[in-house]
Structure 1
Amino acid sequence: MDTPADVQADIRFDQGRHHRAKIGYVLLATEQTIEDDVHRLTPDGVGVHFTRIHIPDSITPATLAAQADLLADAARNILPDGSLDVICYACTSGSLVIGEDTVFRELRKGAPNAQPTSIITAVLRALNTLGARKIAVATPYLDEINRREADYMAATGLEIVNLQGLNLEKDSDMVRVTPAFIADFAQRADRPEADALFISCGALRSIDVVDALEDRLGKPVVCSNQAMVWDTLRRAGIDDAIAGYGTLLNKH
């Protein structure tokens, strides 16, 4: 009879299912769109791992700012063996309300071996990669968050030529806005002088319409979850072209 040591000596290991990269996402407790989008856009061999942090069903500057103190513990709950390559705070409005530097600092506390990023970081990187400086923006947010987003983006050197919001407060409402309405609303927010159109918020089902919108408008369209997945993949060294979801993922 084999001893436990004999059996263990014969164990064969490989790199597991996630042999290409491991990416973590810190989501709002109310989030209902991002997980589906991430799975849809992520190529085989890349592991995606999720955790959530508390927030009421009310997206305001105050509820978003309160998340800063929860980020480190949330990050600590994803693959504590230290094998995570990238970790992302998956909230556009939250990352700009809290600020990227604070987000990165808190994520590093919980996942010191992973590269930290956020959706607003991904969006700004995407727009820069596309060479877009004049931006039209469509959001579901309250006006006070819209003002913060416009100011945050403008402070990086972008020119916001128009920003239109839906004045929704509940995440549970944002996730139910139909893709057809998103496309029409975003087109109305666009301006001829804009180099690119940005549809903000991970709760919106924008990836369903981004490719068709680019064809309709004749310019790049960036949306939160598309930019986030592109950014996290590229940071993890994954350069696969992903067709059907806009120029960003397919060409960059």
Structure 2
Amino acid sequence: MSPSGERPPLPLGALNTAKRIGLVYMASSVLMEAEMYAMATADVTIHTSRVTLPSVTVDGIDAMMRSPELRAAVELVAQAPLDVLVFGGTSASFLHGTAWDRMLIQHIEEWSGLVGRCTTTSTASIAALDAVGSGPISLVTPYRQEVIDRAERFFGENGHPVLASSGLGITSDHELAEVPLEKVYDLAVETDVPEATTVFISCTNFASVGAIAALEDELGKPVVSAVQASFWYALRLAKADDAAQPGFGRLFGARP
């Protein structure tokens, strides 16, 4: 108690009563937690478990998803009392199409015991695009073409045909995180076409959330990123829609 007898403020909030987002993420990745915390109020905490990604190629991503590490990572983080659990890989969850993504969620629910409270970045991204009223999209990625092809198929079969796409051909997860935010901004502007209703920035180890508001101002349309969509959808599942800071795009004002 203070000398006046008043209780001092709690600047970080009551962290033991915060909504807890569990995250299963690539062991070599570094950006998703930081970007999620940038968007979060003090009423949200993020708890991460990790899995090895050999390379950002179809074979490397597939090897990660078929590794027993994935189940172990889910079971470890789910030992915490979580409100929601997110698998934070975009290409890893769209790799083999929509049925694969849905099956992955079912497995995560089974392994974690969090039935109805698990998602993937790909499922969250489709929900986010739907929430902002998106139709056709422009797709911005750091991937090589074989992964872009899988992305285009996934978004197309979920009602968001890709009218234009770009990639940087990166296969190293460390290199993904080193792409400057300014380059991501420029790539989005260069990739977008007028006929696209929304710009989608894929990959959870690719800087994005700091550019979303500026891109929306520049392009005059919604911009959705993989990390932004994952965080937004996690808040929905946790019934904590108001636990986001302002300034991170139209998505946070959207209601599905």
Deviation at 1:108, TM superposition (A): 1.8
Counterpart for residue 75 of structure 1: 74
Counterpart for residue 241 of structure 2: 239
Counterpart for residue 157 of structure 1: 159
Counterpart for residue 206 of structure 1: 208
Deviation at 1:113, TM superposition (A): 2.4
1:62 and 2:32 aligned: no
Match of residue 172, structure 1, among 162, 171, 174: 174
Q: Deviations over 1:193-239 (max 9, x none)?
A: 11100011111111111100000000000011111100101110011
Deviation at 1:79, TM superposition (A): 4.2
The one-letter code sitting in structure 1 at the alignment partner of 2:247 is: G
2:78 & 2:241 partners in 1: Cα distance? 23
The one-letter code sitting in structure 1 at the alignment partner of 2:127 is: R
Deviation at 1:102, TM superposition (A): 2.7
The one-letter code sitting in structure 1 at the alignment partner of 2:110 is: K
Uncovered stretches (5+) of structure 1, i.e. residues with no partner: 1-15
Query: Identity, % of aligned pairs?
Result: 30
Q: Deviations over 1:60-100 (max 9, x none)?
A: 1112112234322111111415x212111101111111531
The one-letter code sitting in structure 2 at the alignment partner of 1:109 is: E
Of stretches 93-102 and 169-178 in structure 1, the one that deviates more from structure 2 is: 93-102
Whether contact under 8 Å (1:75, 1:107) holds in the other structure is yes
Residue pairs, 1:21-170, within 5 angstroms? 21-56=19-54, 58-69=55-66, 70-80=69-79, 83-97=81-95, 99-113=100-114, 115-170=117-172
Deviation at 1:105, TM superposition (A): 2.5
1:197 and 2:199 aligned: yes
Larger radius of gyration: 1
The count of residues paired between Structure 1 and Structure 2 equals 236
Residue aligned with 2:182, SS: helix
Q: TM-score, normalised by structure 1?
A: 0.88
Whether contact under 8 Å (1:244, 1:250) holds in the other structure is no
Match of residue 223, structure 1, among 217, 222, 225: 225
2:254 & 2:152 partners in 1: Cα distance? 27
Distance 1:24 1:232, change over 3 A: same
Residue aligned with 1:150, SS: helix
Residue aligned with 1:209, SS: helix
2:182 & 2:253 partners in 1: Cα distance? 22
Residue aligned with 1:73, SS: helix
Residue aligned with 1:100, SS: helix
Deviation at 1:107, TM superposition (A): 1.1
Uncovered stretches (5+) of structure 2, i.e. residues with no partner: 1-13
Q: TM-score, normalised by structure 2?
A: 0.87
Distance 1:119 1:67, change over 3 A: same
The one-letter code sitting in structure 1 at the alignment partner of 2:85 is: I
The one-letter code sitting in structure 2 at the alignment partner of 1:75 is: V
Counterpart for residue 7 of structure 1: none
Q: Deviations over 1:131-188 (max 9, x none)?
A: 1111010100010000000001111122211111111111111111111111111111
Residue aligned with 1:23, SS: strand
Counterpart for residue 8 of structure 1: none
Residue aligned with 1:31, SS: coil
Residue aligned with 1:161, SS: strand
* RMSD value, Cα: 1.7
Counterpart for residue 5 of structure 2: none
The one-letter code sitting in structure 2 at the alignment partner of 1:246 is: G
